[in-house]
Chains A and B, each alone.
Chain A
């Protein structure tokens, strides 16, 4: 036992002496060597998934970039100046700064990040020892038809410098698109010599998955162009237009104006990133009458041809509501109420139907409920509880004022009429592909709101809005080929300052679906705050003609026959 104790004693004191040797005597020398090694692993970026349109055209892709590095401790002191002089013009850095970087006692040091393929090929020609590059990538978006923008920037979003998707699809599907970065501890210099940074095992990157969308690049481009032209023409502040596939709920085009250049997001104003189509809450105005008519027709409260005496005004709780033209219209049919967009008629319909069924109908059409669309940044404002609603609020709601909705909520609601009475969840992505995994198909939610017969009846009434001379949607007609096939509804809502005080600004809109006999596409066009004389400052005169242009594009693009 004594012998064992002695061995232990010697071991303890011996190790103590060894520690003093390491930490005190050799300490400074070892510490200096420790500081000189910093980077141990390089992150290998994963390839971000592509975003493709319905034809497989790339909407969001990647271009290679190169991070140029040096392994200073592998460059002989005598070579530093020569290498720095050769690198300076290629990397566009001062030679003396490069010499400083190359003199650092490091195993690895970045010289310049995010260099182009052109710089990379120049480096390859230089073929310097101890200098290398690591390939990465940046997101690239194709040019849009409006100068200074990229195509579909509002629906796509962008990827920020740290690789995080922001806004739109990039934001919503970031984890699907991004994949998982890998790591490596050994990189090669230009001459192929290994630069060993550490011993940790290499971990390959897992690439992201691709998004197959229902967007159509050519329709998207014409929507962006036509919307921008109209907003500029009427001197509006902004515009939003969305085109949707009636049956599938797939988004065909989605544009905001003004838009931005997603390749250059860092220098663009942040307020442009907001995607008005999902984020803006607005009062839909007379487009909302579609829902009022749908509910009343579905409950057989009214028929298209029944008539009543329209006095031009109605008083609810002491508030007097008038028509847009401040006139009495006499004995008119329900058709004419919709075609001429008469607020007084809409209020009567709400009152005949009754508050509770009217309210339930709005809920069923998805007003105040998130659509669940696959885009980042969606807003929603639930309707007030029924018990808290005043009759005046329900009365104004009948013509689309006094409640707010997002453009996509409104379009999805109107689309339910086009789709035979079935609400279908709007969505941009149809399938998630690649990444070594089986394809995931996106199946939108659906629910029936009104009967197919009601939808058919209302569609015909909406055709009247476009086709009847004097109808508010007359500017959207395509005669003679598509007579009787374009169903629409205009809207011109007064803009509230948020406290219930309405000023002179308007939000003009037009919603449409066609062909009425077998609807394929629905759309909503919104022009905000147009600054033109009053008669032209209406959805009938700006949003409707824009929709007509887009309709013609859709007909050409998808070769639709009347």
Chain B
């Protein structure tokens, strides 16, 4: 498979360039980004085991049940990362539309009974044995890639409402609507966030952005009002202690866990029950388990790691060889870091909890695998960053780079 991928690197036409781009010999590969990702995944692996061992033992008789599956997904994610890294990111121009079509197909398929698996009232998984994938996660990945490709192709009309903004908005809107049909508000928010973020990076006008943002907020408000459990979640956010054993239970337990952890944490064999009884401890609320077991030191470390990821992502986008690279790098960074911050905000009861995973750390296969694949794309772009006289700078063969190599935000 790796050999086939290598043939997809048209940019490196000479032997020297090919070597420069190959995985082992990429001198410009952003090693900090790779390290940060690896550390986050390692923390995730440990914390998934710690948070899930009890539940896994009582439910499956095997304390490592979730841990073992996380390892498998991590290996799949590793393959995804290598593919993203070795595949010239310009190839996504051709792959983008197919990916978009496949993702829309999956989003529709999951709504069909017998194909989609219903879990706790939400139909968002496509199951095959013990491995279930979430099409909404694939949709997020697709919005990053397809959005970047589309905006790159229409870059001249991006300040035009009718030819640029509206066609883009309805495409993102269709995906968001399909995700909403899966009762997945968290993923919808992520889709909207990435969609808007890409538009900012592409340099559209501020008033269009504001208009879209207001539309999105109104739609979000309606969607919340339509589902009783979302209203309950919102109220639980506003005052979780009003129903500490009902709708506020998860939020309260998470806050208890953070409090119990203090500065240095209670360690992994804590007698304080919060982390053990926290629903979905290994999934969306894993950050609270980190808060209890590893304390403020652990939570700030994770936050800082995402900060490093954002910083490296920003640098890669800034130094990207072309417009597409900048959009892709920015989109991937917004997706990965933004999702993590939304999760942390929700778990700490800073913003309403929406049920998005903590990137690289939460248990949850397809999200982890695709986040790693997206990181691979980011690394691929980093290996081609602009450098005076370097082979990589010349490697951009698109010949369409007459415009600014990277956009300035809204021209402001």
Do A19 and B258 have beta carbons less than 8 Å apart? yes
- The distance in angstroms between the C-alpha atoms of A18 and B314, with both chains bound, is 24
Which of A16, A33, A38, A198 sits near B259, CB closer than 8 Å? A33
**A31 beta carbon closer than 8 Å to chain B:** yes
**B341 beta carbon closer than 8 Å to chain A:** yes
Q: Give chain A residues whose Cβ lies under 8 Å from the Cβ of B109.
A: none
Q: Output the residue of A14, A22, A28, A198 with the most chain B CB within 10 A.
A: A22
Q: Give chain B residues whose Cβ lies under 8 Å from the Cβ of A199.
A: 245-246, 249-250, 279
| Shortest beta-carbon distance from B303 to chain A in Å | 6
Q: Give chain A residues whose Cβ lies under 8 Å from the Cβ of B378.
A: none
| Shortest beta-carbon distance from A34 to chain B in Å | 3
**B274 beta carbon closer than 8 Å to chain A:** yes
Digit string of B243-267 for contact with A (CB within 8 Å is 1, else 0)? 0011001100101111111110000
8 Å CB interface, B288-317 against A:
291, 295-296, 299-300, 303, 306-307, 310, 314, 317
Given A23-B263, A34-B272, A3 contacting B303 (CB threshold 8 A): no
| Shortest beta-carbon distance from B146 to chain A in Å | 20
- The distance in angstroms between the C-alpha atoms of A198 and B259, with both chains bound, is 19
Digit string of A4-27 for contact with B (CB within 8 Å is 1, else 0)? 110010011011101110111011
Do B412 and A3 have beta carbons less than 8 Å apart? yes
Digit string of A171-187 for contact with B (CB within 8 Å is 1, else 0)? 00000000000000000
Complex A-B: 11 CB contacts under 8 Å: A3-B412, A4-B409, A8-B337, A8-B341, A12-B306, A15-B350, A19-B348, A22-B258, A24-B263, A24-B296, A29-B259
**A200 beta carbon closer than 8 Å to chain B:** yes
**A560 beta carbon closer than 8 Å to chain B:** no
Given A1-B408, A199-B245, A16 contacting B300 (CB threshold 8 A): yes
Do A15 and B345 have beta carbons less than 8 Å apart? yes
Taking beta carbons and an 8 Å cutoff, which residues of B are in contact with A?
A: 197, 200-201, 245-246, 249-250, 253, 255-263, 272-274, 277, 279, 291, 295-296, 299-300, 303, 306-307, 310, 314, 317-318, 330, 334, 337-338, 341, 344-345, 348, 350, 406-410, 412
A interface: dominant SS? helix
- The distance in angstroms between the C-alpha atoms of A4 and B299, with both chains bound, is 23
Do A31 and B272 have beta carbons less than 8 Å apart? yes
8 Å CB interface, A194-238 against B:
196-200
Q: Give chain A residues whose Cβ lies under 8 Å from the Cβ of B350.
A: 14-15, 18
Taking beta carbons and an 8 Å cutoff, which residues of A are in contact with B?
A: 1-5, 8, 11-12, 14-16, 18-20, 22-24, 26-31, 33-35, 37-38, 40, 196-200
Do A30 and B258 have beta carbons less than 8 Å apart? yes
Q: Residue of B at shortest CB range from A6?
A: B409
Q: Give chain B residues whose Cβ lies under 8 Å from the Cβ of A33.
A: 256, 259
| Shortest beta-carbon distance from A37 to chain B in Å | 7
Do A12 and B300 have beta carbons less than 8 Å apart? no
Q: Residue of A at shortest CB range from B196?
A: A4
- The distance in angstroms between the C-alpha atoms of A40 and B244, with both chains bound, is 13
Do A19 and B314 have beta carbons less than 8 Å apart? no
| Shortest beta-carbon distance from B97 to chain A in Å | 26
Q: Output the residue of A30, A34, A40 with the most chain B CB within 10 A.
A: A34
Given A1-B314, A199-B246, A22 contacting B201 (CB threshold 8 A): no
Q: Output the residue of A19, A31, A35 with the most chain B CB within 10 A.
A: A19
- The distance in angstroms between the C-alpha atoms of A15 and B302, with both chains bound, is 11
Do B262 and A196 have beta carbons less than 8 Å apart? no
| Shortest beta-carbon distance from B108 to chain A in Å | 30
Q: Give chain B residues whose Cβ lies under 8 Å from the Cβ of A4.
A: 197, 200-201, 330, 334, 409
Q: Give chain A residues whose Cβ lies under 8 Å from the Cβ of B310.
A: 5, 8, 12
Do B258 and A23 have beta carbons less than 8 Å apart? yes
Q: Give chain B residues whose Cβ lies under 8 Å from the Cβ of A200.
A: 277, 279
- The distance in angstroms between the C-alpha atoms of A27 and B296, with both chains bound, is 10
Q: Give chain A residues whose Cβ lies under 8 Å from the Cβ of B330.
A: 1, 4
Q: Residue of B at shortest CB range from A23?
A: B296
Which of A3, A12, A35, A38 sits near B409, CB closer than 8 Å? A3
- The distance in angstroms between the C-alpha atoms of A12 and B345, with both chains bound, is 10
Do A19 and B296 have beta carbons less than 8 Å apart? yes
Given A15-B348, A22-B258, A27-B259, A198 contacting B249 (CB threshold 8 A): yes
| Shortest beta-carbon distance from A178 to chain B in Å | 15
Given A19-B291, A200-B279, A37 contacting B259 (CB threshold 8 A): no
Q: Residue of B at shortest CB range from A39?
A: B273
Do A31 and B259 have beta carbons less than 8 Å apart? yes
Given A12-B306, A30-B260, A1 contacting B272 (CB threshold 8 A): no
Do A34 and B256 have beta carbons less than 8 Å apart? yes
- The distance in angstroms between the C-alpha atoms of A28 and B260, with both chains bound, is 7
Given A1-B407, A3-B409, A30 contacting B303 (CB threshold 8 A): no
Which of B255, B409, B412 sits near A30, CB closer than 8 Å? B255
Q: Give chain A residues whose Cβ lies under 8 Å from the Cβ of B318.
A: 1
Q: Give chain A residues whose Cβ lies under 8 Å from the Cβ of B314.
A: 1, 5
- The distance in angstroms between the C-alpha atoms of A31 and B255, with both chains bound, is 9
Q: Output the residue of A15, A19, A23, A197 with the most chain B CB within 10 A.
A: A23
Q: Give chain B residues whose Cβ lies under 8 Å from the Cβ of A20.
A: 296
Do B334 and A34 have beta carbons less than 8 Å apart? no
- The distance in angstroms between the C-alpha atoms of A198 and B412, with both chains bound, is 52
- The distance in angstroms between the C-alpha atoms of A197 and B303, with both chains bound, is 33
Q: Output the residue of B255, B277, B306, B407 with the most chain A CB within 10 A.
A: B277
| Shortest beta-carbon distance from B187 to chain A in Å | 19
Q: Beyond A22-B258, A34-B274, A40-B273, list 17 extra A-B contacts (CB 8 Å).
A: A1-B317, A1-B330, A2-B408, A5-B310, A8-B310, A12-B307, A19-B291, A22-B255, A23-B263, A29-B259, A30-B256, A33-B259, A34-B256, A37-B256, A196-B245, A196-B246, A200-B277
Given A28-B259, A29-B259, A38-B273, A1 contacting B348 (CB threshold 8 A): no
Q: Residue of A at shortest CB range from B250?
A: A199
Q: Residue of A at shortest CB range from B277?
A: A40
The 9 closest A-B pairs by CB, nearest first: A30-B259, A34-B256, A23-B296, A22-B258, A31-B260, A196-B245, A199-B249, A40-B277, A34-B260
Q: Residue of A at shortest CB range from B341?
A: A11
| Shortest beta-carbon distance from B286 to chain A in Å | 15
- The distance in angstroms between the C-alpha atoms of A4 and B326, with both chains bound, is 13
Do A23 and B262 have beta carbons less than 8 Å apart? yes
| Shortest beta-carbon distance from A35 to chain B in Å | 6
Q: Residue of B at shortest CB range from A196?
A: B245
Do A19 and B299 have beta carbons less than 8 Å apart? yes
- The distance in angstroms between the C-alpha atoms of A300 and B344, with both chains bound, is 89
Q: Residue of B at shortest CB range from A40?
A: B277
Q: Residue of A at shortest CB range from B245?
A: A196
- The distance in angstroms between the C-alpha atoms of A34 and B318, with both chains bound, is 46
| Shortest beta-carbon distance from A408 to chain B in Å | 34
Q: Give chain B residues whose Cβ lies under 8 Å from the Cβ of A38.
A: 273
Which of A2, A24, A198 sits near B245, CB closer than 8 Å? A198
Q: Residue of A at shortest CB range from B296?
A: A23
Do B341 and A3 have beta carbons less than 8 Å apart? no
- The distance in angstroms between the C-alpha atoms of A29 and B260, with both chains bound, is 9
Do B245 and A18 have beta carbons less than 8 Å apart? no
| Shortest beta-carbon distance from B68 to chain A in Å | 23
Q: Give chain A residues whose Cβ lies under 8 Å from the Cβ of B274.
A: 34
- The distance in angstroms between the C-alpha atoms of A337 and B386, with both chains bound, is 109
Q: Give chain B residues whose Cβ lies under 8 Å from the Cβ of A1.
A: 200-201, 314, 317-318, 330, 406-409
Given A15-B348, A198-B249, A31 contacting B410 (CB threshold 8 A): no
Which of B200, B272, B338, B348 sits near A18, CB closer than 8 Å? B348
Q: Give chain B residues whose Cβ lies under 8 Å from the Cβ of A2.
A: 408-409
- The distance in angstroms between the C-alpha atoms of A547 and B338, with both chains bound, is 85
Do A3 and B299 have beta carbons less than 8 Å apart? no
Q: Residue of A at shortest CB range from B307?
A: A12
Do B299 and A34 have beta carbons less than 8 Å apart? no
Which of B295, B334, B344, B345 sits near A23, CB closer than 8 Å? B295
Q: Residue of A at shortest CB range from B262?
A: A27
- The distance in angstroms between the C-alpha atoms of A30 and B300, with both chains bound, is 19
Q: Output the residue of B258, B307, B345 with the most chain A CB within 10 A.
A: B258
Q: Give chain A residues whose Cβ lies under 8 Å from the Cβ of B201.
A: 1, 4
Do A15 and B344 have beta carbons less than 8 Å apart? yes
